[in-house]
Amino acid sequence: MNSEEIFALTENFIAPTYKRFPVAFSRGAGVKLWDAEGNEYLDCLAGIAVCNLGHCHPRVSAAIAAQASQLMHVSNLYHIEFQARLAKILCELSFADKVFFCNSGAEANEAAIKLARRYGHEVLGEGAKRIITMHRSFHGRTMATITATGQKKVQTGYQPLLEGFDYVPFNDIEAVAAAITEKTCAVLVEPVQGEGGVILPAVDYLNRLRGLCDERKILLILDEVQTGVGRTGTFFAHQHSAIVPDIMTAAKALGNGFPIGAMLASDRVMHYFGPGSHGSTFGGNPLASAAALATLETLRDEKIVDRVIQTGTFLKVGLERLKQQFPEIIGDIRGLGLMFGIDLKDVPVAEVVGACLERRLLVGSAGDNTLRFTPPLIIDKSEIETMLQILTEVLKDVKSGQP
Protein backbone atom coordinates (compact mmCIF):
# COMPACT_ATOMS: atom_id res chain seq x y z
CA MET A 1 0.00 0.00 0.00
CA ASN A 2 1.20 3.52 -0.64
CA SER A 3 1.02 6.24 2.03
CA GLU A 4 -2.11 7.91 0.63
CA GLU A 5 -3.99 4.62 0.70
CA ILE A 6 -2.91 4.00 4.31
CA PHE A 7 -4.02 7.51 5.37
CA ALA A 8 -7.45 6.94 3.78
CA LEU A 9 -7.84 3.59 5.52
CA THR A 10 -6.93 5.16 8.88
CA GLU A 11 -9.39 7.99 8.31
CA ASN A 12 -12.17 5.50 7.55
CA PHE A 13 -11.61 2.85 10.17
CA ILE A 14 -9.47 4.07 13.09
CA ALA A 15 -10.95 5.75 16.16
CA PRO A 16 -10.04 9.44 15.99
CA THR A 17 -8.20 9.49 19.37
CA TYR A 18 -4.93 10.64 17.77
CA LYS A 19 -4.12 13.57 15.56
CA ARG A 20 -1.71 11.75 13.26
CA PHE A 21 1.11 13.20 11.19
CA PRO A 22 0.87 12.36 7.47
CA VAL A 23 3.42 9.56 7.40
CA ALA A 24 3.25 5.76 7.60
CA PHE A 25 6.40 3.81 8.37
CA SER A 26 6.98 0.37 7.01
CA ARG A 27 10.51 -0.48 8.13
CA GLY A 28 12.98 0.44 10.86
CA ALA A 29 16.60 -0.31 11.72
CA GLY A 30 18.56 1.35 14.51
CA VAL A 31 17.88 5.08 14.54
CA LYS A 32 16.35 5.02 11.02
CA LEU A 33 12.82 4.56 9.75
CA TRP A 34 11.52 4.26 6.20
CA ASP A 35 8.04 5.21 4.98
CA ALA A 36 5.92 3.30 2.49
CA GLU A 37 7.69 5.11 -0.42
CA GLY A 38 11.14 4.26 0.92
CA ASN A 39 12.00 7.75 2.25
CA GLU A 40 14.47 7.63 5.14
CA TYR A 41 13.84 9.35 8.49
CA LEU A 42 16.01 9.94 11.57
CA ASP A 43 14.07 8.90 14.66
CA CYS A 44 14.81 11.01 17.74
CA LEU A 45 11.60 10.02 19.53
CA ALA A 46 11.89 6.19 19.46
CA GLY A 47 8.15 5.51 19.78
CA ILE A 48 8.21 7.88 22.75
CA ALA A 49 11.07 6.34 24.72
CA VAL A 50 10.24 2.78 23.68
CA CYS A 51 12.84 1.54 21.18
CA ASN A 52 15.85 2.21 23.40
CA LEU A 53 17.99 -0.31 21.49
CA GLY A 54 16.85 1.18 18.19
CA HIS A 55 14.35 -0.32 15.77
CA CYS A 56 14.44 -4.07 15.19
CA HIS A 57 17.56 -4.76 17.23
CA PRO A 58 18.76 -8.09 15.78
CA ARG A 59 19.06 -9.77 19.17
CA VAL A 60 15.52 -8.82 20.22
CA SER A 61 14.05 -9.65 16.81
CA ALA A 62 15.80 -13.05 16.84
CA ALA A 63 14.51 -13.82 20.35
CA ILE A 64 10.96 -12.94 19.31
CA ALA A 65 11.20 -14.98 16.09
CA ALA A 66 12.57 -18.02 17.94
CA GLN A 67 9.97 -17.83 20.69
CA ALA A 68 7.13 -17.23 18.20
CA SER A 69 7.67 -20.67 16.73
CA GLN A 70 8.44 -22.34 20.07
CA LEU A 71 5.61 -21.21 22.38
CA MET A 72 3.74 -17.90 22.24
CA HIS A 73 1.32 -18.08 25.09
CA VAL A 74 0.34 -20.10 28.11
CA SER A 75 -1.65 -18.92 31.10
CA ASN A 76 -0.14 -17.63 34.31
CA LEU A 77 -1.70 -20.73 35.85
CA TYR A 78 1.60 -22.37 34.85
CA HIS A 79 5.29 -21.59 35.30
CA ILE A 80 6.93 -19.65 32.46
CA GLU A 81 10.70 -19.94 32.23
CA PHE A 82 11.41 -16.66 30.44
CA GLN A 83 9.05 -14.73 32.73
CA ALA A 84 10.92 -16.02 35.79
CA ARG A 85 14.31 -15.27 34.21
CA LEU A 86 13.11 -11.79 33.26
CA ALA A 87 11.93 -11.14 36.82
CA LYS A 88 15.31 -12.26 38.16
CA ILE A 89 17.27 -9.87 35.94
CA LEU A 90 14.87 -7.00 36.79
CA CYS A 91 15.44 -7.66 40.49
CA GLU A 92 19.22 -7.77 39.93
CA LEU A 93 19.03 -4.40 38.16
CA SER A 94 16.88 -2.76 40.84
CA PHE A 95 15.88 -2.68 44.51
CA ALA A 96 13.03 -5.11 43.92
CA ASP A 97 12.49 -8.62 45.29
CA LYS A 98 9.44 -9.57 43.23
CA VAL A 99 7.81 -8.58 39.93
CA PHE A 100 4.24 -8.61 38.60
CA PHE A 101 3.95 -8.53 34.80
CA CYS A 102 1.27 -6.87 32.70
CA ASN A 103 1.05 -5.30 29.23
CA SER A 104 1.46 -1.53 29.51
CA GLY A 105 2.46 1.40 31.68
CA ALA A 106 -1.10 2.17 32.70
CA GLU A 107 -1.62 -1.43 33.76
CA ALA A 108 1.61 -1.39 35.74
CA ASN A 109 0.40 1.72 37.57
CA GLU A 110 -3.02 0.12 38.13
CA ALA A 111 -1.21 -2.78 39.78
CA ALA A 112 0.84 -0.35 41.90
CA ILE A 113 -2.28 1.54 42.97
CA LYS A 114 -4.05 -1.71 43.89
CA LEU A 115 -1.04 -3.00 45.83
CA ALA A 116 -0.67 0.29 47.72
CA ARG A 117 -4.36 0.22 48.67
CA ARG A 118 -4.06 -3.38 49.77
CA TYR A 119 -1.03 -2.47 51.88
CA GLY A 120 -2.89 0.50 53.34
CA HIS A 121 -5.86 -1.70 54.16
CA GLU A 122 -3.79 -4.46 55.79
CA VAL A 123 -1.05 -2.46 57.48
CA LEU A 124 -2.14 1.12 58.05
CA GLY A 125 -5.83 0.59 58.87
CA GLU A 126 -9.17 0.25 57.05
CA GLY A 127 -9.46 3.69 55.52
CA ALA A 128 -5.82 4.30 54.62
CA LYS A 129 -6.27 4.14 50.84
CA ARG A 130 -5.49 7.63 49.61
CA ILE A 131 -2.60 8.26 47.24
CA ILE A 132 -0.83 11.59 46.71
CA THR A 133 0.21 12.42 43.12
CA MET A 134 1.72 15.48 41.43
CA HIS A 135 0.42 18.27 39.25
CA ARG A 136 1.51 17.79 35.60
CA SER A 137 2.15 14.09 36.20
CA PHE A 138 1.19 11.38 33.73
CA HIS A 139 0.36 7.84 34.75
CA GLY A 140 -1.79 6.41 31.94
CA ARG A 141 -5.24 6.36 30.35
CA THR A 142 -7.27 3.87 32.40
CA MET A 143 -9.82 5.23 34.87
CA ALA A 144 -7.52 4.83 37.88
CA THR A 145 -4.49 6.21 36.09
CA ILE A 146 -6.24 9.25 34.58
CA THR A 147 -7.39 9.96 38.13
CA ALA A 148 -3.82 9.62 39.37
CA THR A 149 -2.65 11.89 36.53
CA GLY A 150 -2.51 15.50 37.71
CA GLN A 151 -3.67 17.00 34.41
CA LYS A 152 -7.25 18.11 33.75
CA LYS A 153 -6.96 17.49 30.00
CA VAL A 154 -6.85 13.69 30.38
CA GLN A 155 -9.80 13.68 32.83
CA THR A 156 -12.25 15.92 30.98
CA GLY A 157 -15.54 14.18 30.27
CA TYR A 158 -14.74 11.05 32.27
CA GLN A 159 -16.12 12.01 35.68
CA PRO A 160 -16.92 10.49 38.08
CA LEU A 161 -13.24 9.74 38.61
CA LEU A 162 -11.93 7.27 41.16
CA GLU A 163 -12.06 8.25 44.82
CA GLY A 164 -8.90 8.60 46.85
CA PHE A 165 -6.34 10.83 45.13
CA ASP A 166 -4.82 14.07 46.39
CA TYR A 167 -2.71 16.36 44.21
CA VAL A 168 0.25 18.56 45.07
CA PRO A 169 2.76 20.53 42.99
CA PHE A 170 5.82 18.57 41.78
CA ASN A 171 9.06 19.44 43.60
CA ASP A 172 7.23 20.85 46.63
CA ILE A 173 8.10 18.69 49.62
CA GLU A 174 6.20 20.88 52.10
CA ALA A 175 3.02 20.41 50.07
CA VAL A 176 3.40 16.62 50.27
CA ALA A 177 4.02 16.81 54.02
CA ALA A 178 0.88 18.91 54.44
CA ALA A 179 -1.24 16.58 52.29
CA ILE A 180 -0.43 13.36 54.19
CA THR A 181 -3.17 12.29 56.60
CA GLU A 182 -3.98 9.05 58.44
CA LYS A 183 -5.94 8.12 55.29
CA THR A 184 -2.84 8.25 53.07
CA CYS A 185 -1.15 5.02 51.99
CA ALA A 186 1.31 6.21 49.34
CA VAL A 187 2.95 8.92 47.27
CA LEU A 188 3.17 8.24 43.51
CA VAL A 189 5.70 10.25 41.49
CA GLU A 190 7.74 10.18 38.28
CA PRO A 191 11.46 10.68 39.05
CA VAL A 192 11.54 12.95 35.97
CA GLN A 193 8.16 14.15 34.72
CA GLY A 194 7.92 13.11 31.06
CA GLU A 195 4.60 14.12 29.52
CA GLY A 196 4.49 17.14 31.87
CA GLY A 197 7.39 18.66 29.88
CA VAL A 198 10.60 16.85 31.00
CA ILE A 199 10.67 18.37 34.48
CA LEU A 200 13.64 17.33 36.61
CA PRO A 201 13.38 16.72 40.33
CA ALA A 202 14.95 19.40 42.52
CA VAL A 203 18.21 18.41 44.21
CA ASP A 204 17.33 16.18 47.15
CA TYR A 205 13.60 16.04 46.28
CA LEU A 206 13.52 12.24 46.01
CA ASN A 207 15.66 11.86 49.14
CA ARG A 208 13.32 14.08 51.09
CA LEU A 209 10.25 12.30 49.72
CA ARG A 210 11.76 9.00 50.84
CA GLY A 211 12.45 10.44 54.29
CA LEU A 212 8.93 11.79 54.55
CA CYS A 213 7.35 8.49 53.50
CA ASP A 214 9.47 6.60 56.06
CA GLU A 215 8.61 9.05 58.80
CA ARG A 216 4.87 8.84 58.06
CA LYS A 217 5.07 5.09 57.35
CA ILE A 218 3.57 5.30 53.88
CA LEU A 219 4.79 3.86 50.57
CA LEU A 220 6.85 5.61 47.92
CA ILE A 221 5.82 4.53 44.42
CA LEU A 222 8.00 5.58 41.48
CA ASP A 223 6.52 5.60 37.98
CA GLU A 224 9.58 4.78 35.85
CA VAL A 225 7.50 3.85 32.81
CA GLN A 226 9.27 6.51 30.72
CA THR A 227 12.48 7.10 32.69
CA GLY A 228 13.36 3.41 33.18
CA VAL A 229 15.38 0.93 31.14
CA GLY A 230 18.42 3.16 30.73
CA ARG A 231 16.75 6.31 29.41
CA THR A 232 18.37 8.73 31.87
CA GLY A 233 21.82 7.10 32.07
CA THR A 234 21.18 4.78 34.99
CA PHE A 235 19.09 1.67 34.64
CA PHE A 236 16.29 3.39 36.53
CA ALA A 237 16.23 7.16 37.00
CA HIS A 238 16.01 7.09 40.79
CA GLN A 239 19.39 5.33 40.81
CA HIS A 240 20.96 8.77 40.26
CA SER A 241 20.03 9.25 43.92
CA ALA A 242 20.71 7.02 46.91
CA ILE A 243 17.10 6.13 47.61
CA VAL A 244 14.98 3.13 46.71
CA PRO A 245 11.19 3.11 46.34
CA ASP A 246 8.78 0.56 47.83
CA ILE A 247 7.04 0.02 44.50
CA MET A 248 8.20 0.90 40.98
CA THR A 249 6.56 0.59 37.58
CA ALA A 250 8.20 0.06 34.19
CA ALA A 251 6.89 -0.49 30.67
CA LYS A 252 7.67 1.55 27.50
CA ALA A 253 11.24 0.39 26.69
CA LEU A 254 11.05 -2.89 28.59
CA GLY A 255 10.37 -4.95 25.45
CA ASN A 256 12.06 -2.50 23.05
CA GLY A 257 8.69 -2.21 21.25
CA PHE A 258 7.08 -5.46 22.25
CA PRO A 259 4.25 -4.57 24.69
CA ILE A 260 5.04 -5.48 28.29
CA GLY A 261 4.74 -3.74 31.65
CA ALA A 262 6.00 -4.56 35.11
CA MET A 263 5.25 -3.60 38.69
CA LEU A 264 8.19 -4.23 40.99
CA ALA A 265 8.22 -4.20 44.78
CA SER A 266 10.09 -5.27 47.87
CA ASP A 267 8.98 -8.54 49.49
CA ARG A 268 7.71 -6.57 52.46
CA VAL A 269 5.09 -4.94 50.21
CA MET A 270 4.52 -7.48 47.40
CA HIS A 271 3.66 -10.00 50.08
CA TYR A 272 0.19 -8.35 50.31
CA PHE A 273 -0.60 -9.47 46.74
CA GLY A 274 -1.60 -13.07 47.47
CA PRO A 275 -3.09 -15.65 45.07
CA GLY A 276 -6.22 -14.26 43.40
CA SER A 277 -5.54 -10.65 44.44
CA HIS A 278 -4.56 -9.50 40.93
CA GLY A 279 -3.96 -10.99 37.52
CA SER A 280 -3.46 -10.60 33.78
CA THR A 281 -4.13 -13.02 30.91
CA PHE A 282 -1.19 -11.90 28.80
CA GLY A 283 1.09 -10.40 31.46
CA GLY A 284 4.59 -11.82 31.06
CA ASN A 285 3.58 -14.44 28.52
CA PRO A 286 6.40 -16.42 26.87
CA LEU A 287 6.64 -14.17 23.80
CA ALA A 288 6.61 -10.87 25.69
CA SER A 289 9.06 -12.20 28.28
CA ALA A 290 11.46 -13.46 25.61
CA ALA A 291 11.43 -9.99 24.01
CA ALA A 292 12.03 -8.20 27.30
CA LEU A 293 14.70 -10.64 28.46
CA ALA A 294 16.61 -10.17 25.19
CA THR A 295 16.24 -6.38 25.59
CA LEU A 296 17.62 -6.31 29.13
CA GLU A 297 20.42 -8.78 28.39
CA THR A 298 21.49 -6.72 25.38
CA LEU A 299 21.46 -3.48 27.39
CA ARG A 300 23.52 -5.16 30.08
CA ASP A 301 25.97 -7.15 27.92
CA GLU A 302 26.68 -4.27 25.54
CA LYS A 303 26.91 -1.75 28.41
CA ILE A 304 24.52 0.56 26.53
CA VAL A 305 23.45 2.48 29.63
CA ASP A 306 27.08 3.41 30.42
CA ARG A 307 27.32 5.59 27.33
CA VAL A 308 23.98 7.37 27.72
CA ILE A 309 25.40 10.16 29.90
CA GLN A 310 28.22 10.85 27.44
CA THR A 311 25.93 10.90 24.41
CA GLY A 312 23.39 12.93 26.35
CA THR A 313 26.03 15.51 27.27
CA PHE A 314 27.03 15.78 23.61
CA LEU A 315 23.39 16.38 22.70
CA LYS A 316 22.98 18.91 25.49
CA VAL A 317 26.02 20.92 24.36
CA GLY A 318 24.54 20.98 20.85
CA LEU A 319 21.16 22.15 22.12
CA GLU A 320 22.78 24.90 24.21
CA ARG A 321 24.63 26.07 21.10
CA LEU A 322 21.31 26.15 19.27
CA LYS A 323 19.83 28.23 22.07
CA GLN A 324 22.63 30.78 21.67
CA GLN A 325 21.87 30.92 17.96
CA PHE A 326 18.09 31.25 18.45
CA PRO A 327 17.58 32.99 21.83
CA GLU A 328 14.24 34.39 20.66
CA ILE A 329 12.85 30.89 19.97
CA ILE A 330 14.47 28.60 22.53
CA GLY A 331 13.81 28.97 26.26
CA ASP A 332 14.71 26.55 29.02
CA ILE A 333 16.54 23.32 28.11
CA ARG A 334 16.10 20.43 30.54
CA GLY A 335 17.25 16.87 30.42
CA LEU A 336 18.87 13.85 31.98
CA GLY A 337 20.66 11.14 30.03
CA LEU A 338 18.92 10.98 26.66
CA MET A 339 15.62 12.53 27.72
CA PHE A 340 15.44 16.21 26.77
CA GLY A 341 12.88 18.97 26.66
CA ILE A 342 13.31 22.40 25.06
CA ASP A 343 10.77 25.10 25.88
CA LEU A 344 9.77 27.08 22.82
CA LYS A 345 8.90 30.76 23.04
CA ASP A 346 6.04 32.15 20.93
CA VAL A 347 6.27 29.49 18.20
CA PRO A 348 3.87 26.54 18.68
CA VAL A 349 5.68 23.24 19.25
CA ALA A 350 3.38 21.40 16.80
CA GLU A 351 4.64 23.69 14.02
CA VAL A 352 8.28 22.82 14.79
CA VAL A 353 7.54 19.08 15.10
CA GLY A 354 5.75 19.22 11.73
CA ALA A 355 8.59 21.15 10.08
CA CYS A 356 11.11 18.60 11.43
CA LEU A 357 9.02 15.78 9.99
CA GLU A 358 9.03 17.47 6.59
CA ARG A 359 12.81 17.38 6.80
CA ARG A 360 12.57 13.72 7.81
CA LEU A 361 13.42 14.10 11.50
CA LEU A 362 11.13 12.68 14.20
CA VAL A 363 10.93 14.62 17.45
CA GLY A 364 8.05 14.95 19.89
CA SER A 365 6.28 17.38 22.13
CA ALA A 366 5.39 17.46 25.82
CA GLY A 367 3.93 19.82 28.41
CA ASP A 368 2.56 23.16 27.27
CA ASN A 369 5.02 24.01 24.55
CA THR A 370 8.08 21.81 24.92
CA LEU A 371 9.96 20.03 22.16
CA ARG A 372 10.91 16.53 23.31
CA PHE A 373 13.86 14.30 22.38
CA THR A 374 14.00 10.66 23.43
CA PRO A 375 16.22 9.08 20.76
CA PRO A 376 17.26 5.43 20.84
CA LEU A 377 20.08 5.07 23.39
CA ILE A 378 22.32 3.69 20.63
CA ILE A 379 22.30 7.00 18.74
CA ASP A 380 25.84 8.10 17.86
CA LYS A 381 27.48 11.50 17.64
CA SER A 382 27.23 11.82 13.87
CA GLU A 383 23.49 11.07 14.04
CA ILE A 384 23.11 13.71 16.75
CA GLU A 385 24.98 16.17 14.54
CA THR A 386 22.59 15.39 11.69
CA MET A 387 19.67 15.97 14.03
CA LEU A 388 21.10 19.32 15.20
CA GLN A 389 21.72 20.33 11.59
CA ILE A 390 18.11 19.64 10.62
CA LEU A 391 16.84 21.42 13.72
CA THR A 392 19.01 24.45 12.86
CA GLU A 393 17.47 24.62 9.37
CA VAL A 394 13.96 24.29 10.80
CA LEU A 395 14.56 27.07 13.34
CA LYS A 396 16.04 29.31 10.63
CA ASP A 397 12.82 28.83 8.64
CA VAL A 398 10.70 29.47 11.73
CA LYS A 399 12.68 32.64 12.44
CA SER A 400 12.22 33.95 8.92
CA GLY A 401 8.53 33.05 9.17
CA GLN A 402 8.46 30.32 6.53
CA PRO A 403 8.38 26.89 8.18
Ligand X SMILES: *Cc1c(COP(=O)(O)O)cnc(C)c1O
The binding site for ligand X (CB under 6 A) comprises 104-106, 109, 138-140, 190, 194-195, 223, 225-226, 251-252
Q: How far is the CB of 209 from ligand X (least distance, A)?
A: 16
d(CA 343, CA 322): 12
Q: How far is the CB of 138 from ligand X (least distance, A)?
A: 5
Q: How far is the CB of 339 from ligand X (least distance, A)?
A: 10
d(CA 199, CA 206): 13
Toward ligand X, which CB reaches closer, 225 or 322?
Answer: 225
Q: How far is the CB of 372 from ligand X (least distance, A)?
A: 11
CA distance readout (Å), 296 to 247, 280, 310, 317, 319: 20, 22, 20, 29, 30
When CB distances to ligand X are compared, the closest residue is 105
Toward ligand X, which CB reaches closer, 295 or 347?
Answer: 295
Toward ligand X, which CB reaches closer, 336 or 390?
Answer: 336
Toward ligand X, which CB reaches closer, 164 or 196?
Answer: 196
Toward ligand X, which CB reaches closer, 35 or 190?
Answer: 190
Q: How far is the CB of 277 from ligand X (least distance, A)?
A: 21
Toward ligand X, which CB reaches closer, 226 or 365?
Answer: 226
Q: How far is the CB of 317 from ligand X (least distance, A)?
A: 26
